[in-house]
Amino acid sequence: LNVEVELNSSFSLSDHKCSSCTRSFAPLAVCWLILLGIIGLRIYFTAVISENNARLTAAEWNLIMIIEKMNAQNQELEMDKNNLTQQIQNWKKFKGLSTDVIYLLVSVVAEHHCEPCQKGWLTSQSNCYAIINPTKLENLRTWEEAQEDCSGKNSDLAVVVTTAEKNFVNAKSWIEKNLKQYWIGLRAVDGIWKWIDGSNLTETSWMSGQSATEGSCAVSIQNQGWKSVSCTEKNRWICQKKALSV
């Protein structure tokens, strides 16, 4: 009987201890859960704050760039304003010139007006012509040499397009001391009469009866028209270039 009482007492004591352990573990678990929740919230909000800080930093840089760009534009506008102010002041000074001074300037400009052709060149319509007529035989030139001389004068051997130009060139092919032939910019190329600028002779009647054989070039003879001769002959020549528009 005593043994049974002792056993019952032992079981009763053990149940009491287990019940006490269970009651003390529950609050501890709740504390751990709360702590884990706090840690999780801290991690979450830290990430959110970092992301927001990054966005704010990018926005700040964009704002700084915009401000710098606006400052540069303001500086350019200020420079433009200063330039306009200076131009206005210069214009006011110019307007302040007396009428006599303005008339003087106009008269000076009028005295120095540009001629359509430089000195020594003849003007006809929209062209300038240089009649190169050396009297010494050693100064005469072949067709190629004559073209080279014209190139040095920023021109070419004469290219004739209209009847008026042909008549002018023919009239200026002066005869002197039996020297009467003048090179023009026409020569035979592949059996065709071509001008120095690469265009074909359109008025074939101007070279009527003159075959375009290789090595042939055209000369102008006063009162006789044009004639085909060897390009290696030595003759006078006529250079041509466009006149200035005045």
What does the pLDDT look like over 18-57, one tens digit per residue? 455 555 566 777 787 888 888 888 888 888 888 877 887 8
Between 186 and 44, the more confident residue is: 186
- Supply the CATH number for residue 189's domain: 3.10.100.10
What does the pLDDT look like over 112-130, one tens digit per residue? 556 889 889 999 989 999 9
Half-sphere exposure of 190 (CA within 13 A, CB side): 4
Same domain, yes or no: 52 and 133:
no
Domain that holds residue 82: 1-88
In a domain, 110, yes or no: no
Same domain, yes or no: 51 and 133:
no
Between 7 and 131, the more confident residue is: 131
Distance between CA atoms of residues 35 and 70, nearest Å: 52
In a domain, 193, yes or no: yes
Same domain, yes or no: 229 and 139:
yes
| Residue 123, H or E segment | strand 122-124
In a domain, 133, yes or no: yes
Non-local (6+) Cβ contacts of 144 within 8 A are: 231
Query: Nearest to residue 144, comparing CAs of 206, 193, 189, 187?
Result: 187
Same domain, yes or no: 135 and 224:
yes
